[in-house]
Structure 1
């Protein structure tokens, strides 16, 4: 089965390809680097700021008393 490498867009075979879904180790490492340097993002709710987390933590502590 032929697939398209998500990085360089070259066609490559799926079977017996140790780097699938990429065509080569180079493309696999490029993809890993994009994750490491946060070039890929998964959409979701905006995270709380540090200040909001501290206030939230203090409120939880106060409610236990």
Structure 2
């Protein structure tokens, strides 16, 4: 690892080229679980009843 590489965002260990930006497969799985469990969220400006929103299930 070079001196400018960022540490793993999950545990802080040096990142690994194979799992970048993580250090191991374990940390990649922890991150994925957080996305699936909705621990992480992407904020948007639209509300649930926004008329400009395109329905997902068009017939």
Category of TM-score, reference length = shorter chain: 0.5 to 0.7
Q: Give every structure 1 segment of 4 or more consecutive aligned residues whose post-TM-superposition deviation is greater than 6 Å.
A: none
Q: 1:29-57: CA deviations, max 9, x gaps?
A: 00000011111011113322xxx88xxxx
2:10 matched to which residue of 1?
7
Higher radius of gyration, 1 or 2: 1
Alignment TM-score, normalising by the size of structure 1:
0.60
Q: How many residues of Structure 1 are paired with residues of Structure 2 in the alignment?
A: 48
Alpha-carbon RMSD across the aligned residues, in angstroms, is: 2.3
Counterpart of 1:47?
Answer: 48
> Which is richer in helix?
1
**Larger strand percent:** 1
